[in-house]
Chains A and B, each alone.
Chain A
Amino acid sequence: MKNLAAGVPHKEYLFSGHTACPGCSAVLTIRHLTKVLGRKTVFVITASCFSIIAGQPPLRTFDLNVFHCPFPSSAAVGGGLKRGLIAAGDSETQVVVLAGDGGTFDIGLQGLSAAAERNEDIIFICYDNEAYMNTGMQRSSASPFGSQSNTTPAPRIKQNPKKDIMAIIAAHAVPYAATATIAYPRDLLAKVEKAKNIKGFRFFHLMCPCPPGWGIDSDESVELSRLAVETGVFPLYETEDGERITITHRPDSLRPVEDYLLRQRRFSTMTAADRQKVRDFVSRKWRKLLAAAEATI
C-alpha cells in the first residue's frame, strides 16, 4: 500500500478535540490544506459546520486567525480583508475564505461572482458536503439528483441535477480553479501549493463526504471521496484563466456509478431508471471534460 502521508508537512494548524462529527472529511481536508497554506494565512469563515468546528471563542480550533462573517458575505468580507491588509502595509498574508456548498452555490453566489469578476486576490474554498448540514441537512443547489434531504424527503427526492459551480467560476476567467478531495492528498496539496503562488482569485471545489448527511459510516468518508473520483461523479481537474483545463487524475476507465450511489443511504430510494440517468449524466460530463482538456493541448 502506498504511503499517502508521504510529503505531507508535519506542522498542524488545526487542533484536535474540535466538534466536527466523527469521520468528517471536510475537517480532514481543511486540516491538510492549512499545512500548505502555513502561518501567513487568515481565514474568513461563513455560517456552516465550520462556525461550530472553529470553536467557541476564546477557544479555537485553528492555530491561525479566523474571522467569522454573515452567511452571504464571505467573498466580500474576504476581499475587504485583503484590501485592508494591503492598506495597512501587509501585502503578503493570504486571505482564505471558507464556505460550504450553501455559502458558495446558493446564498453566497452573488458576492462570490462579483469577487471573481473583480479578480480579488483571495483563495475561496468551497467544501461541498452537498447539503445544508449545519441546519440539519436540507437540500442545496449542490445536492445531486436523486438525493434525499429534510426538504427533499422521499418520495419527493431531488429532481434537478447539481449546479456546475466549476463551470460558473471558470466562466469568470479567474486565474485558478481546481477540484480536489482528501482521497488524493498529494493532488490536493500540490494544487494548494500552486494556488498559493498565483495572484488573483483562486477557487477550490472540495468534495467532502459527510457521514451523517450522506448515510455512510464514519470510516467510509475517505473511501467515498475516492469512489466519487473513480466513478467520474467528481473528476479531479483544474482550470487556469478560465481556458486551460488539466485533468489531474485520469482513471483508465470509470467505475460504475452504482459503486458510489449504492453505498449511501441518501440515494436509497433511487430507482434503476434514476441511476441510469446519473450514469448518462456522468459519462456525458466526463466526455465533455476530456474534450475540453484535449482542446487545451
Chain B
Amino acid sequence: MTEKIITGNQAVAQGVRLSRAQVVSAYPITPQTTVMETLAEMWAGGEFGGDFVAVESEYSALGYCVGAAYAGARAFTATSSHGLAYMHELIHWAAGARLPIVMSNANRAIGAPWCIESDQTDSLSQRDTGWLQLYCSSVQEILDSIIMAFRLAETARLPVMVNYDGFYLSHTYEAAAIPEQKEVDLFLPSPPDRPAIDLDAPENRHGLVGSEAMHRLLSVRYQATEAVLAIYEEIYREFALRFGRRWPAVEYAGPPGAQTVLVTAGGMAQTVKSFLSGPGRGEALLRIRLFRPFPADGIRKVLGAPHVARVVVIDRNVSMGVGGIFAQEVKAALQGLPKGPQVSELNVSGGLDLSPDLLARALEAQRPEGEKINWAVNLL
C-alpha cells in the first residue's frame, strides 16, 4: 500500500488499472476528461495492461463495452452529464443483456443552458435503466468503489455506475491509499482468459422476444437486482476485512438518539459531517451510498427510530414537478410508518456549494406557505 495525494478522477484510473480492466473505451467531457487521459497515459506507459480505445462518442464508448462484455472481457467506460445522456439507449441495453460493465460518472448538470457544475440529475435520471448505482463521498471511496464495482458487477451479472461529484471530487486532491496489485487480485478474481462465446454451441442472444418472455426476463432481473442488497453487504464486509475501509450501503454518523437527521449522498456528506462536528450541534447524518437497489430497509431502520422527529434531505438534483430525487425515495421508504418523522427538503441543484452557513440557515428556516422545498437560492 502506498499513500498518494490524487484527484477523484485519478482515483478512478487507479481503480481501473488495479481491477485489470481489459477493454477501456471513453470520450472526453468535463469534468470526466482526466479519467480517460490518466488511463491513456498509463496505457501508453505500459502501466495499464488493458486495451484503450478513444472513440468518437460516448454512445460508441458504451457500445465498445457492450461488445467487449459480449466476448466475456472486463470492460470499463467513464463519462459525465451529456455523455451519460447520450449513452442512454445502451445503458438500458447493457443492463437488459446482464453485462457486468463498470462505468464512472462525474456528476454534472445537463443543459440547456450549458453548465459544467456538479449536479446529480444526470445519473439519477438513469435510475430506471437497471444499473446498480453507487455515490461516493471522498477520493479514497472512489478508488475503492471502482474495485468493489467490478466484483459486484461480476457477482450479480449487472452493470454498475460509480458516481461522484464533478469538480468537488473529480478535481479535488485528497490523500488516498493505493492498494497493492496482489491485494486487489485476492479480492477481485482475475479477468477471463477465454471468451464467453462457444463457437460450437451457437446462441441467438438478445434477439426479439414476445411479451411473456420479456415479462419473465424483467422479473428475473428484478430479483437479481434485489439480491444485490445481500451481495453488497458481503462484498463491503470482505473489502473492509482486506483493506480496513468500510463502505456500507448507508452510513450513519452522529450522536445516538439524534432528533434531526440530515440525509444526503455524495461529497456533500463531507460538508455535513464537518458542520455537525461544530459546537452546539446535535443532528446526525445519514449518507446514502447505494442508490440502486435502494436500501429502503436500512434507511427505514435509522429514520423510523422513535427518537427521529425531523429529516432534512439535501438534494443536488431535481425532478421537476416532484422535488429532490433522494427526498422522494426516502419518503417512499418511510411510507406506512405509524409515526414517521417530518421530512423536508433542501435543494442545491445546479451545483451550488453546500456551505456550513447555508446548512445552518436551512435548518433554521421556516418554509414559506405552500413551499415543499427549501430552495437554497432563497437562503443565500
Q: Chain A residues in contact with chain B, CB under 8 A?
A: 39-40, 42, 44-45, 51-52, 54-70, 72-73, 75-90, 93, 110-111, 113-114, 117-118
Contacts and interface: CB of A to CB of B under 8 A. Distances in A.
B55 A67 contact: no
B55 A90 contact: no
Interface string B196-207: 111110111111
B25 A65 contact: no
B359 interface: no
Contact of A90 (B22, B68, B194): B194
A61 B202 CA distance: 10
Contact of B197 (A62, A73, A85, A117): A85
B90 interface: yes
Contacts of A65: 197-199, 202-203, 205
Interface string B71-85: 111110000000000
A-B complex: 7 closest residue pairs judged by Cβ atoms: A80-B67, A76-B63, A84-B71, A84-B68, A80-B64, A60-B204, A84-B73
Which of B64, B90, B193, B195 counts the most A-chain CB atoms under 10 A from its CB?
Answer: B64
Contact of B64 (A59, A83, A117): A83
Nearest to B63: A76
Given A76-B63, A83-B68, A87-B68, 5 more contacts: A63-B202, A65-B197, A70-B90, A81-B68, A113-B56
Given A79-B67, A111-B59, A84 B22 contact: yes
A85 B23 CA distance: 10
Interface in B64-123: 64-75, 89-90, 93
A86 B72 CA distance: 10
Overall SS of chain B's interface: loop
A75 B202 CA distance: 21
B204 A88 contact: no
B98 to A, nearest CB: 13
A89 to B, nearest CB: 5
21 contacts: A40-B199, A54-B204, A56-B207, A57-B208, A61-B204, A62-B202, A64-B202, A65-B197, A65-B205, A66-B203, A69-B206, A70-B93, A73-B66, A80-B53, A80-B64, A84-B67, A85-B71, A86-B51, A90-B71, A93-B197, A111-B63
A80 B199 contact: no
Nearest to B68: A84
Contacts of B203: 57-58, 60, 65-66
B210 A83 contact: no
A75 B56 CA distance: 12
Contacts of A62: 202, 204
B68 A80 contact: yes
B208 A51 contact: yes
A113 B56 CA distance: 9
Contacts of B213: 56-57
B194 A67 contact: no
Nearest to A64: B202
A52 B208 contact: yes
B72 A88 contact: yes
Given A51-B207, A76-B55, A80-B65, A89 B195 contact: yes
A66 B202 CA distance: 7
B209 interface: yes
Interface of B: 22-23, 25, 50-51, 53, 55-57, 59-61, 63-75, 89-90, 93, 191-200, 202-210, 213
A80 B21 CA distance: 13
B204 A111 contact: no
B210 A56 contact: yes
Contact of A83 (B73, B191, B205, B206): B73
Contacts of B193: 88-89
Nearest to A45: B207
Contacts of A70: 63, 89-90, 93
A19 to B, nearest CB: 10
Nearest to B92: A70
B50 to A, nearest CB: 7
Contacts of A84: 22-23, 67-73, 75, 195
A68 B63 contact: no
Which of A78, A82, A83, A113 counts the most B-chain CB atoms under 10 A from its CB?
Answer: A83
Contacts of B61: 76
Contact of A88 (B22, B57, B66): B22
A88 B192 contact: yes
A160 B99 CA distance: 42
A13 to B, nearest CB: 9
Which of B55, B69, B74, B202 counts the most A-chain CB atoms under 10 A from its CB?
Answer: B202
Nearest to B195: A88
A56 B194 CA distance: 27
A89 B55 CA distance: 23
Contacts of A73: 59-60, 63, 66, 89-90, 93
Contact of B67 (A52, A54, A77): A77
Contacts of B204: 54-55, 57-62, 66, 68
Nearest to A19: B208
Contacts of B65: 80
A76 B312 CA distance: 44
A105 to B, nearest CB: 17
A151 B256 CA distance: 67
A264 B97 CA distance: 41
Contacts of B69: 80, 84
Nearest to B71: A84
Contacts of A66: 202-205, 207
A83 B23 contact: yes
Contact of B53 (A59, A89, A93, A118): A118
A110 B22 contact: no
Given A56-B207, A88-B73, A111-B59, A83 B197 contact: no
